[in-house]
Amino acid sequence: MYLEINNPTDYHAALYIRLSKEDESEGPSESVNNQQSLLNEFVQQHRLSVYDTYIDDGWSGTNFDRPNFQRMIADIEARKVNMVITKDLSRLGRDYILTGHYMERYFPEHRVRYISLLDGIDTGVDSTANDITPFRAIMNDMYAKDISKKISSVKHDKQRKGLFIGGKPVYGYKMHPTEKNRIVIDEDAAPMVRRIFGMALEGVSCRQIAAQLNAEDVPTPAAYAGLTVANPGPYTGLWSSERISDMLQNETYTGSMVQGRTRKINYKSKKCIKQDRRDWVVVEGTHEPLIDRETFDKVRALVESRRHTRSRTYDFLLKGLIFCHECGYPLAVLNRKNAAGEDRLYFVCRTYQRFTKAGVCTSHTIKEETVTRAVVEKVREVCGAWLQADRLLPQAQRVVAKAIAEADNEKEINSLKAKIDSLTAHLDRVYMDKLGGILDEADFQRIYAKVKADRAALEQRLSRLDRPDFSPAEQTDLAKKLVERFLETASTNRELLVSLIERVELTSDKQIIIKFRFKQLENS
């Protein structure tokens, strides 16, 4: 190491150490103690002041949401640290994009000097080692990618062998006390699983089962397993119809190991996406069944049969914009008939609908048209304050002129007319061939249908192009009409509503709160 620091008293150093399980395969030289010893030796040699040591043990280099790394970043933001030292570049990270971001942008912008001991990288001096830093970062990223592939291959192999590789077994099972990657029946939770399947077999719906379990204060699978919820919602800790439905269709209860239902997008992302059922890894007879196959198949058929009763959707102006003010979740829409037998849509709190007896929220029931009318009136008021015809006219004139210019294509029009005439003549010949016995009825119908469809498509295209010329005065008149039509329909224009409104919230006492995307509109 030939790094020199001429002004050590100017720096408050952060010693950053990272170790993951994958790094342990490289040998003991990567251990936390080894890294710490190397860094301490360097700071003592150069008489540096160490503000703190930040250690992320067991964290992958592709993940920058490490607790102590983020703590170090917070100290940099607070100007407590202006130097970061690591053993090598891979300790900082193995994602070359984010590693480059911190080295090339973040550290320089925050006046932080970065030193990587074994790589000879020092951003405080000009060095050829700094020039090849991007290539080192890419190599570290490639290593992480290669390790990810090897780990995925091992996991898939275990899945195909029917070995359990998840974190927690499905509700009703627990890890085998002595055998690794094996699950056995959890005698404490098993009776509840059998009861749920029994209720479903008797025709009780998933929502009714969930309501019954909530009424009896039965712990949910997450609560039973002692799992903490990072972002608890209004119905955290309650059974839901979705949870029951998922249980009733999980083949694990029949003695089959079901894995691979989700997969990570890639080694850099934590996000998981659902896999198609055909891509699941299912191995039969890996553990003792909780439910016999006959009962499971009957229950699954009952669950599947109910899906069709919930497939209706309704279109309304505020779709995707209306939320419950109390719980923050989107409002559901229901169709109900009024006294005259006419269909009417109503908004209702989805949380209340799912967990009525739990008293989590209130119904918020109100006619959809009542809320829509109020929102439209407010938007109309806003549009009236911000949209004036004289301001919109120049833009409308440009739009009309552009549309006319695009339609003015005489060469294409003549070509289309010639093709239409040719197809018409072709139809005449085909008809004469049929009369003369050259074509049988089946061939005539096939050719006639195709040629006629081709001609209709050309005629439709021609109708869009073959427009009369407009004088300047006529263009201005068209622009004025365009402005008038826009102003008349602006408040009920779905595209404009989504552009202006972030969300509409309905309170328990039926008050409507409109949150615009632009703050100046809220004061209009």
What one-letter code names the amino acid at 351? T
> What confidence score (pLDDT) does residue 308 get?
47
Task: Tell me if 90 sits within 8 A of 143, measured CB to CB.
Answer: yes
| Averaged pLDDT of the chain | 77
Question: How far is 370 from 351, CA to CA, in rounded Å?
Answer: 21
Q: Is the pLDDT of residue 177 over 50?
A: yes
> What confidence score (pLDDT) does residue 283 get?
85
> What confidence score (pLDDT) does residue 311 get?
46
Q: Is the pLDDT of residue 100 over 60?
A: yes
User: Can you give the three-state secondary structure of 196-236, one letter per residue?
Assistant: HHHHHHCCCCHHHHHHHHHHCCCCCHHHHHCCCCCCCCCCC
Beta-carbon contacts of 245 under 8 Å, excluding residues fewer than 6 positions away, are 206, 303
Of the ranges 31-40, 57-66, 74-83, 459-468, the best mean pLDDT one: 74-83
Grade residue 518 by pLDDT with cuts at 50, 70 and 90.
low
Grade residue 28 by pLDDT with cuts at 50, 70 and 90.
very low
Give pLDDT tens digits for 241-252.
888 888 898 888
Identify the weakest region by mean pLDDT among 192-196, 334-338, 367-371.
Answer: 334-338
Burial code (b: 16+ CB inside 10 Å, e: under 16) for 473-494 equals eebeebbbebbeebbeebbebe
Grade residue 333 by pLDDT with cuts at 50, 70 and 90.
confident
Identify the weakest region by mean pLDDT among 46-50, 156-160, 293-297.
Answer: 156-160
120 or 70: which leads in pLDDT: 70
Spatial CA neighbour of 89 closest among 45, 52, 130, 48: 130
Q: Is the pLDDT of residue 379 over 80?
A: no
Identify the weakest region by mean pLDDT among 12-21, 130-139, 168-177, 371-380.
Answer: 130-139
26 or 523: which leads in pLDDT: 523
Report the 10 Å Cβ neighbour count for 382: 22
Q: Is the pLDDT of residue 105 over 50?
A: yes
Q: Is 337 exposed, middle or buried (0-12, 13-18, 19+ CB in 10 A)?
A: exposed
Grade residue 95 by pLDDT with cuts at 50, 70 and 90.
confident
Q: Averaged over 487-508, what is the pLDDT?
A: 71
Q: Is the pLDDT of residue 34 over 80?
A: yes
178 or 500: which leads in pLDDT: 178
CA 67 distance to own-chain centroid: 24
Structure tokens at 359: 């008293």
Task: Tell me if 8 sits within 8 A of 49, measured CB to CB.
Answer: yes
> What confidence score (pLDDT) does residue 132 get?
47
Please give the angle made by the CA atoms of 327, 333 and 338, to the nearest 5 degrees.
Answer: 125
DSSP result, 14-79: EEEEEE-HHHHTT-GGGSHHHHHHHHHHHHHHTTPEEEEEEEEET--TT----HHHHHHHHHHHTT
Task: Tell me if 172 sits within 8 A of 253, measured CB to CB.
Answer: yes
> What confidence score (pLDDT) does residue 309 get?
44
Question: How far is 254 from 221, CA to CA, in rounded Å?
Answer: 18
322 or 52: which leads in pLDDT: 52
Phi–psi pair at 88, nearest 5 degrees: -150, 175
Identify the weakest region by mean pLDDT among 7-11, 31-35, 94-98, 325-329.
Answer: 94-98
